[in-house]
Structures are given as C-alpha cells and as structure tokens.
Amino acid sequence: MAMETNFRRALPLVLTHEGGFVNHPKDPGGATNKGITLANYRRYVKQDGTVEDLKAIKPNEVERVYKLFYWDAVKADLLPLGVDYAVFDFAVNSGPGRAVKFLQRVAGVAQDGAIGSGTLAAVNAMKPELVINRLCDDRLAFMQGLSTWSTFGKGWGSRVLGVRQHALEMAKSGLHAIPEPADAASAPQQEPTPEPKLEPTPAPAPEPLAMAPEPAAAPYEPAAPETRAEPEPEAANDNAKSSGAAAGGAIAAVFAGIAAAATYFWNQIVSLFGG
C-alpha cells in the first residue's frame, strides 16, 4: 500500500526510545530487548526462545515483531501520515488496544479498541495536526496518572515530546493514507503487551443525608441562690422572753436546794453538841 513505506521511517524513531536489553525490576513486562518482551519474541519469532535468544535478536526479527504486533494491529497503513506514527508509538509503549481507544476518543467515536471504517472516516475528517496534538496530550495525561510515573516519568515525557514533534513534521508533508477498502479484514487479535496499569479511581463518598438542624442549646447560667425569710421582730422578742423566764426558774430552784441542805446540816450539828 502507499503508506507502507512510512513503517520503515517510523520504526527507527520508535527504537531510539526502546534501547537495548533491559531487565528492570519495576517493569511489569520483564526482560525486554529493543522493546520486545520475551512473550512476544516467542509468539512471533521462536516459540521456545530464551532470554539469551532475546538478547541476540536480529534486525529482521525486530522488524517482524513490530510490524505484526503493533503497526498492523492499529492499521497504521490506513491512517493519515503522522497520525500513523503517533498511534504506532503509543501502541508500542502502552499496548495496541489502549492506543486505538485513545485515538477513537480523540475522533469522537465509540471506544471499542478496533479500528474500522467509522473510526477511519472520523480520523480522516480531522486535521492530522489536531489529532496528533490531542492524542499526545491524552497519552501524557494517562502516563502521569500511573503509579510508576515517579520511576519512568522523565523518559516517558521526553518520548511523547519527541513523538509529537516528528509526527507533526510528517503531517506537514500533506500526504494521507489511502481509504480503507470495503472488504478490508480486521486485524487479528494480538497478545496484549504487559504494561503498567492505571490506578483505580476511588469511588466518590456518598453525600450525607440532609438532617434538620437541632435547636441551639441555651447558654449555661448558674442557678440563683435560695433566699431564706428573716424572722419577724415580734416573734424574736417572744422567744427571748420565754428563754429568760426558764433560766430564772432554774436558778431559783438551785438556791432553794442549797438552803435546804444547809438547814439539814446545821440541825445535825446542834443535835450532836447541844444534847
């Protein structure tokens, strides 16, 4: 097809970001070489391939994996020039399914992860520069939301910046992919690339039920001291008189007793000495 030649132009750009053999402990894809996982190497090159085989992968084997697993999976030959490269690189970095869904979101069509006539028509109706910029913006925002952004963020951000620049340069040439034939077969299902997963978004907390406000409590005030009634003056005088009379009677009784005792003792003395 007319745009197949852009694959050979795009692949070297992709590989500049993939590098050589890597076995990073925080990379969920495990061991990779030129961005190719051992699982994909076994699927497209050698079924019983080992890590050592992956280290020694040949250039034509690299091209085969990228063509079948990524470029063809996103139907890049049928996309506008520049858009094809942007989607291709996105697919390599985050998986073909996610790359297609993000492209469909930019184009405003159903996000089913499969490029068909509806997606192609919507994408080709837009300016390639607009598609490229929106796709790169959404891709970067997605990466920034990953838990591994702190580890790989600097490299990912630089990669998206480079993809945007090169894709826009391709789009300026004004060339577009040929329309999709009516009987074009859909791309075969491919093994998804292991990739960092988007952190789940916590469900929003339910709003509290509206409750009628309780009436405000009255401010605390200390209780007033109890008031006792003073006795009336007349009652007080009567009590004093009664108390005085009782005391006087008691004193008189004491003196009478003393006098009687004295008389008794005197009579006893007289009888002893007088008789």
Q: DSSP secondary structure string, 16-69?
A: HHH-SEE--TT-TT-SEETTEEHHHHHHHT-TT--HHHHHT--HHHHHHHHIII
| CA dist., res. 154 & res. 156, Å (int) | 6
- For residue 15, what pLDDT is reported? 95
Tokens 């409590």 found at: 217
Structure tokens at 158: 């630089």
3-class DSSP assignment, residue 167? helix
3-class DSSP assignment, residue 149? helix
Beta partners for 33?
Answer: 21, 36
In the sheet with 36-37, reading across from the earlier edge strand, the strands are: 21-22, 32-33, 36-37
> For each of the chain's 275 residues, which pLDDT tens digit applies?
334 569 999 999 999 988 899 887 777 778 899 989 999 999 999 999 999 999 999 999 999 999 999 999 999 999 999 999 999 999 999 999 999 999 999 999 999 999 999 999 999 999 999 999 999 999 999 999 999 999 999 999 999 999 999 999 999 986 544 434 333 333 333 333 344 433 333 333 333 334 434 334 344 344 344 444 444 444 444 444 445 555 556 666 666 677 666 667 666 666 666 55
- For residue 163, what pLDDT is reported? 98
- For residue 18, what pLDDT is reported? 86
The CA R_g of the chain, rounded to the nearest whole Å, is 53
| CA dist., res. 129 & res. 166, Å (int) | 11
| CA dist., res. 180 & res. 77, Å (int) | 9
